[in-house]
Structures are given as structure tokens and as C-alpha cells.
Structure 1
Amino acid sequence: MNTKRVLVAYGSKHGATAGIADEIGRTLRDDGFDADVRPADAVTDVSGYDGVVLGGALYAGRWNGKARRCARRNAEQLRGRPLWLFSSGPVDSSAEQHDIPPVPGVARRMRQLDAREHITFGGALTADNPGFLARAMVRRGKGGDFRDPARIREWAHHIGAELDPAR
């Protein structure tokens, strides 16, 4: 049996989105896929992959620039293979309570790249995040880690089932 290769690329500023990508990659590997998790700015060729998952952190309603540039740089190759997109960002429980549609820029990329699906996961804002604004938000009780590992794994299993229905 030919093991399917999946790229999980991410644009992360402070590590929360990287953690989501790592969880997706680990779950896909547990499901028997060859999953490669890489920062989006290190991705220059996706032709060797059977499927791609591309995620980016949301800041002020925009996807992380590294994820945007990765999508643009690899657009031709991404259009020709199964592609899933994810965003991370809400630092509250809203992503767990209801589906959050992609922000306009990500929705546009979905159409341009013929992506199969998009999901928004909760993000994380902790005292370890650099920057005055982040620390001020945490001091005012607006922080926390709202990533849901079970939900992330469930979505990764879903991707695996779409990539290889025989599994």
C-alpha cells in the first residue's frame, strides 16, 4: 500500500497555530499517513504531497502573512490537490460553540485555490505572548488557551478519511 503524504503548513506568530498544526500532523501520522509539519514560510514546493493542510493565525481579521504568502507562492500546485484551510484566533470559547466562517481574505483564497474546507479553531493568548497589548489583555482577564485538542484531532481524522476512504 502506498502511504499518502500530507503537508501541514502553518503561519504562526507566537506558537499557538504551530501547536494546532503539530496536533493535526500527529493525528494524521497516527492514522497511517506520512505527515510533514512545516512553517508556511519554509514551503516552496507542494508537488510531492497528496494533500495539503494550510493554517494561519488571525490578527485583526486577517490571516497570518506567512500563510497568505505560502498560498500565493504555491497557488498553481495547491489548486491541483486536496487542500484544507484552518484559522486560529478567537481567544474565547466561540469557536467551540459554533462554526465561525472564514474571514473574507481566507474565503477568497478558498475559492481561488478550490479548497475543500475551512475550520476556525480557538487560539491562545497567555502571559508568555510578547507585546504590550497581549500582556495588557491577559492582565484584564482576556487571555487563555482556547485550543481544543479533541476537536483538532476530530478534524484531522476527517481529513484522513477524505484523503484515503479505504482506511
Structure 2
Amino acid sequence: MPGNVLVAYGTTNGSTAQIAEAVAAVLGKEGLTAEALPAGSVTDVTRYDAVVVGGGLYAGRWHRDARRFVRRNRRALAERPLWFFSSGPLDASASEKDIPPVSGVRRAMIRLDARGHVTFGGCLQEGAKGRIARMIVRNGKGGDFRDFPGIEAWAARVAGQLLDEQEKN
């Protein structure tokens, strides 16, 4: 019964964490038990029936903590329903079209037979950590491009798939 779901995430400035928390909240509203945790703090995924992993995108790569989480837990992840999400584009493109996963995420999806991936818009605002992030904000290229209704709709679809499986078993 896939009722206990982990939403693990890698983030630098907290935007991806807020997306993960929104995903977990929707899963909970749909009747599943879900918790969002920083990927670097998760020591055991075997107590979860399904996993969602999210990572912020930085220079075309997933956040280091998300990459390490997937690598460290690859065997357990391959045995349970698994979805990925990315966050990062600092424009409206993620709301306008499907953005494919970056190559490292695509390879992990294939290896682990992940059920899906979505890219959500990112958020980079004043006070961001990192020299490059601060430069992006200073040059007026930052902002909040997250689409929470879209995030919630995607999470509801994930919940629907898990609940359908639960009914069949």
C-alpha cells in the first residue's frame, strides 16, 4: 500500500524546499501520509512506500544534495514508485511548456524506472546565497516564477496514481 511518501529535496535558497512542502501538503490532503525533508538529512528511505525527489537547478545540474540522495539510495528507490521534479528557470517558460529533465536526472530516471519528471519555475530573490545568485538578482533577472497551482495539480496527479495502485492491491 503506497500510503507513506517521502518528498526529499535539495535546495540552496529555500525555493525548492517550499515546492517540496507544497507537494507533501497536497499528498496529505489526498489521503496519503507525506513529509518533505532535506535530501541530505534522510538516512533511510525503506520506511517509505513511494518517493518524490526534487532538486534546484544550478548551471544545468541538479542540486548536489538531490544528486547524492539518489546515488546513495538507488537500490531502495528502484524498488518503489518514484517521481522527480526540478526547479529553476527564472522566467515563465516552465509554465508555458514542458521542460525536459537535465541529462543527469534523465539518466537517473531511466536507471531507476522513475514514473515522471516535471520542471517548475524557480525563485531567486534579494538575499540569495552565492555570488552568482546575487549577481543575477542585482542584474534584475531574479524573481519568483513558481506556479503553485501547477505544482499542486502535478502533486494531485501523483497522489491519484498512488491511490489507484492502493485500491488495486
Which range, TM-score by smaller chain? over 0.9
- The aligned residue for residue 57 of structure 1 is 56
Amino acid at match of 1:132: R
Amino acid at match of 1:14: N
Q: Which runs of 5+ in 2 are unaligned?
A: none
- The aligned residue for residue 5 of structure 2 is 6
C-alpha distance in structure 2 between counterparts of 1:105 and 1:69, whole Å: 12
- The aligned residue for residue 110 of structure 2 is 111
C-alpha distance in structure 1 between counterparts of 2:2 and 2:110, whole Å: 28
Q: Is the 8 A contact 1:3 1:34 kept in 2?
A: no
**Aligned partner of residue 45 in structure 2, secondary structure:** coil
- The aligned residue for residue 154 of structure 2 is 155
Show structure 1 runs of 4+ deviating over 4 A: none
C-alpha distance in structure 1 between counterparts of 2:56 and 2:69, whole Å: 13
Q: Is the 8 A contact 1:8 1:35 kept in 2?
A: yes
C-alpha distance in structure 2 between counterparts of 1:69 and 1:136, whole Å: 27
Aligned pair count reads 165
> What is the TM-score normalised by the length of structure 2?
0.94
| Paired residues for 1:21-40 under 5 Å | 21-40=20-39
Q: Is the 8 A contact 1:127 1:135 kept in 2?
A: yes
- The aligned residue for residue 98 of structure 2 is 99
Judge which range, 87-96 or 38-47, deviates more: 38-47
Q: CA deviation at 1:139?
A: 2.4
- The aligned residue for residue 129 of structure 1 is 128
Q: Deviations over 1:6-39 (max 9, x none)?
A: 0000000110000100000111111111101110
Judge which range, 133-142 or 153-162, deviates more: 133-142
**Aligned partner of residue 90 in structure 2, secondary structure:** coil
Change in 2 beyond 3 A, CA 1:26/1:112: same
**Aligned partner of residue 53 in structure 1, secondary structure:** strand
C-alpha distance in structure 2 between counterparts of 1:82 and 1:3, whole Å: 8
C-alpha distance in structure 1 between counterparts of 2:108 and 2:43, whole Å: 18
Q: CA deviation at 1:3?
A: 7.7
Q: Is the 8 A contact 1:44 1:73 kept in 2?
A: no
Amino acid at match of 1:29: G
Percent sequence identity over aligned pairs: 53
- The aligned residue for residue 41 of structure 1 is 40
Q: CA deviation at 1:68?
A: 0.6
**Aligned partner of residue 164 in structure 1, secondary structure:** helix
C-alpha distance in structure 1 between counterparts of 2:68 and 2:139, whole Å: 34
> What is the TM-score normalised by the length of structure 1?
0.95
Q: CA deviation at 1:104?
A: 0.4
State whether structure 2 residue 67 is matched by structure 1 residue 68. Answer: yes
Q: CA deviation at 1:42?
A: 1.1
Q: Is the 8 A contact 1:3 1:32 kept in 2?
A: no
